[in-house]
Every structure is written in C-alpha cells, then in structure tokens.
Amino acid sequence: MIRAISIRALYAIVLLIAVLVLNFSMLHLAPGDVADTIAQASGGADPEVMDQIRRDYGLDQPFLTQLGSYIVKVAKFDLGYSFFYNRPVTDLILERLPATLLLVISAQLLALIVGVVLGVISARNPNGLTSHFVTGLALFGYSAPVFWTGILLLIAFSLNLPIFPSSGMRDVTIEGGFFAHTVDVLHHLVLPVIALCSVYLALYSRLCRSSMLEVLGSDYVRTAKAKGLSEGQVVYKHALKNALSPVITLAGLQFSAVISGAVLVEAVFSWPGLGTLAFQSIIARDTPTILGILFFSAIVVVIGNLITDLVLRMIDPRVGGKA
C-alpha cells in the first residue's frame, strides 16, 4: 500500500509540473500581456511606460527564463501577484477555496449517494417503474447543461417560488451564532448543489444499475442465494461491494469535470468560489490569477484521484494485490 501510494505521488508531482508548463506556455502564446491589459484599463500608455511595466513583471525576459522563474516561485508556494485585485494570488485562492470545496464535495457526495441508491433499487427490479425513472433521469441529466439547469432552478425556486436565495453564499442581515450562519449557508447551497450534481447523478445511477445487474447475475450471487441468505444480505453484503468499484472509479475520473462545471454554476448563482474568481480574472486578463487557479485546480484533481485509489483498495483488496 505504502509503495503504491509513493509511486502515485511521484507520478502526481510529474503531472503537476507538466500541467504547470502547459498552462504557462498556452497563456504565453495568447495575444497580449499584462502591460496591454493595464494600458487598456487606464485608457492608454506611452511605449516607455509599457516597457517599464514589462520589466517590472519580467516579461522582457526570454520565455524559458520566465518559465523557470515561475516554476521556482511555485515550488516556494508563491503563485505570483494579481495586478487586478492588487493582492497575492495565493491569498485570493485560499480565500475562495473553502466555498468551492464545499460546493464540489457536497455535489459529488449527493450524486454518489443518491445515484447508488437509485441504481441498486432499479437493478433489483429492472423492468419496474424505478428502472424506467433512472433511465429517463440519466437521459435528461446527461443532456442538460449545468448552467441551463441552474437557470431553471433559479426561475422555479427563487423567482416563481421564492424558497431559496438567488445568489451569494450568505445573507449579511442574518444575526445569531454559528448555528444560524451554518443554516444560512446550507440554505444558499441547495440550488447550486442540485444544479452541479444533476449530470453526475445521472451517470452514477445508470452505471450502478448496469454494474449491479451484471453482479447479480454472477455465479457467487446465485450460490449465496442457494445458501439461504436473504435478498438484502445478497444485495448489500455481497453484490453492492463489487458493483461499487466502477462507480467510484468514474467518480474519481469525473472530479475534474465537477470542478470545471463549478465554474458555470458559480457564475449562475454568484457563488463566491474559485469559479467566480476565474471568470472575473479571465475578463480582466489577470494572467497570474488564471495560472494560479489552473494549477490549484490540478492539485485538487490529483488529490481526488489519489483518494479514489485508496477508497478502491479499501473496498476491493484485489486492487491492492495487483499493485
């Protein structure tokens, strides 16, 4: 187990360096730079001022020199300085990170739990009403963009039926202690979580249904039934444990897609997370902040994949035996 984790951690470091180089190269090749953005925001600048700005940001150096300097700074946990927000990028990310993690983890857990439950129920009665409902849910959820789902939820439950807030993460008028503020955050969280998890709920429920149907038809399940075990013991003690492996694997692979989907959801609901920060930074062409968000998102995805490997090893020891 320790050896396998060490190997994957080494691969993760190499992957992060590759992501860092790729992101920096792509933004470097894009037209314009920080000096152009600052000049445009201020209504223009003399060539001497532009050259001074480029010298201040190190943009007058060769590409490889800039790349090497940036990698060294990142190794020291320095993601640069945002000229738009006039703050260190690391501080901006750490300030917005809790909101995004709350949204992403809540949506992923809800999609997994509800998707597995629906998949198991529909697999136990593949020709029943629940099975057809899961199929229809998968078709609708997978085909509907998350921003469209979010807009529909806003219209339905914030405008027509004002049950949930339409934007933000907190109500500044709320008074009270920790419990009152926690309830307020959860109240704001409901619609963004439903919008973000809709696509992945459809995927997990459909995959769990297919995996359960395959496992329920295997020889060891028939043997367990022949021994007189109850249907609940067969399904939840023997079949579900093996049927969960592909679902958890897909959840790990989809973690990066959940983060990218959070950008759209945060923009729709004005959720104060990394997605909103990325959207505003792209509009302002704040290159240091964009690079920092991309790199930090890669770290979150890598950590999510490592956690997925660990969970798979705990659920199915045969995975650890192959490593």
Q: Where residue 141 sits, what CATH number does that domain have?
A: 1.10.3720.10
Say if residue 74 is in the same domain as residue 162: no
Q: Residue 62: left if φ>0, alpha if ψ -120 to 50, beta else—which one?
A: beta
Query: Could you tell me if residue 4 is inside a domain?
Result: no
pLDDT at 190 over 90: yes
Say if residue 43 is in the same domain as residue 104: no
SS (H, E, C) 234-289: HHHHHHHHHHHHHHHHHHHHCHHHHHHHHHHHHHHHCCCCHHHHHHHHHHHCCHHH
Query: Could you tell me if residue 281 is inside a domain?
Result: yes
Domain boundary among 20, 45, 78: 78
Query: Domain residues for 176?
Result: 90-322
**Long-range Cβ pairs for the range 136-142 (8 Å, 24+):** 137/201, 137/202, 137/205, 138/202, 138/203, 138/205, 138/206, 139/202, 140/202, 141/198, 141/199, 141/201, 141/202, 141/203, 142/199, 142/202, 142/203
Query: Could you tell me if residue 163 is inside a domain?
Result: yes
Q: 322 falls in which pLDDT band (50, 70, 90)?
A: very low
Q: Residue 228: left if φ>0, alpha if ψ -120 to 50, beta else—which one?
A: left
Q: How far apart are CA 195 and CA 290, in angstroms?
A: 25
Query: Could you tell me if residue 7 is inside a domain?
Result: no
Q: 154 falls in which pLDDT band (50, 70, 90)?
A: very high
Q: Residue 101: its pLDDT value, please?
A: 87
Say if residue 143 is in the same domain as residue 63: no
Query: Could you tell me if residue 118 is inside a domain?
Result: yes
Q: How far apart are CA 88 and CA 94, in angstroms?
A: 10
Longest CA–CA span in the chain (Å) reads 86
Q: Tokens standing for 296?
A: 């930090």
HSE on the CB side for 293, CA within 13 Å? Answer: 26
Query: Could you tell me if residue 280 is inside a domain?
Result: yes
Q: 323 falls in which pLDDT band (50, 70, 90)?
A: very low
Say if residue 21 is in the same domain as residue 109: no
Count of domains for the chain: 2
Residues constituting the chain: 323
Please answer whether residues 141 and 202 qualify as being in contact, where contact means their C-beta atoms are separated by less than 8 angstroms. Answer: yes
Q: How far apart are CA 199 and CA 32, in angstroms?
A: 36
Q: Tokens standing for 210?
A: 């297919």
Say if residue 142 is in the same domain as residue 258: yes
Please answer whether residues 265 and 211 qualify as being in contact, where contact means their C-beta atoms are separated by less than 8 angstroms. Answer: no
Domain boundary among 78, 98, 113: 78
Listed in sequence order, the residues at least 6 apart from 90 whose beta carbon sits closer than 8 Å to its beta carbon are 77, 78, 79, 292
Say if residue 156 is in the same domain as residue 246: yes
Please answer whether residues 289 and 92 qualify as being in contact, where contact means their C-beta atoms are separated by less than 8 angstroms. Answer: yes
Burial of 135 (0-12, 13-18, 19+ CB in 10 A): middle
Whole-model pTM: value is 0.79
Radius of gyration of the chain (CA): 24
C-alpha distances in Å from residue 84, one per residue of 147, 188, 293? 27, 28, 14
Q: Is 45 helix (H, G, I), strand (E, B) or coil?
A: coil
Query: Could you tell me if residue 120 is inside a domain?
Result: yes
Query: Could you tell me if residue 83 is inside a domain?
Result: no
Give 221-258 pLDDT, tens digit per residue: 778 777 777 777 777 777 777 788 788 877 777 776 67
Give 294-317 pLDDT, tens digit per residue: 888 888 878 877 777 777 777 665
Say if residue 117 is in the same domain as residue 29: no
Give 156-186 pLDDT, tens digit per residue: 998 888 899 888 888 877 777 778 888 889 9
